[in-house]
Amino acid sequence: MEKRLILRGLLAGAVGGVLAFLFARIFAEPQIRQAVDYEDGRERAQAALDRAAGIAAEQAHADPFSRTVQGNAGIGVAMIFFGVAMGALSPSRTRSAWAVPAGSGPGASRSWSPAAVSSACTWCRS
């Protein structure tokens, strides 16, 4: 039962991660691209001012991953992994919060214990 619940959570998290990736590629990535272009232009302008003033230029560091890799593979892998992790944690936390009343059989109804409700509310607020 728990394995099936966690597997469903993993699948739901992966689907959520893919949807989050698509949202980020469509809506967030163009804004990030504009911000990076602005920053690059500002750095070029500052370098031109420094050269005109006779100030030695700083050495530019090379990024280990290009913006293309960060915007495509990086954000995709990160969103999907995060979705899968949250999908695995949510069902296990919910499952552990359910309490079975003592002395009841397999067909007994389940109810939330006060400690589980308090724990879930605290987790949701954080």
Look at residue 11 and tell me if it is in a domain.
Answer: yes
Residue given tokens 């409700």 in the structure block? 117
CA dist., res. 20 & res. 64, Å (int): 24
Look at residue 119 and tell me if it is in a domain.
Answer: no
Look at residue 33 and tell me if it is in a domain.
Answer: yes
Residue 56 has a pLDDT of: 83
Pair 16, 81: CB distance under 8 Å: no
Residue 120 has a pLDDT of: 56
Look at residue 112 and tell me if it is in a domain.
Answer: no
Residue 84 has a pLDDT of: 93
Residue 25 has a pLDDT of: 93
Look at residue 85 and tell me if it is in a domain.
Answer: yes
Pair 33, 71: CB distance under 8 Å: yes
Q: Which domain holds residue 24?
A: 2-58+65-96
Look at residue 36 and tell me if it is in a domain.
Answer: yes
Number of domains the chain contains: 1
Look at residue 76 and tell me if it is in a domain.
Answer: yes
Residue 103 has a pLDDT of: 47
Residues 6+ apart with CB under 8 A from 71: 25, 29, 32, 33
Look at residue 103 and tell me if it is in a domain.
Answer: no
Distances in whole angstroms, Cα of residue 116 to Cα of each of 57, 58, 108: 60, 56, 18
Q: Each residue's pLDDT tens digit in the chain (126 positions)? A: 678 888 888 999 999 999 999 999 999 999 999 999 999 999 999 999 998 998 887 777 788 888 889 888 999 999 999 999 998 888 777 766 665 544 455 555 555 555 555 555 555 555
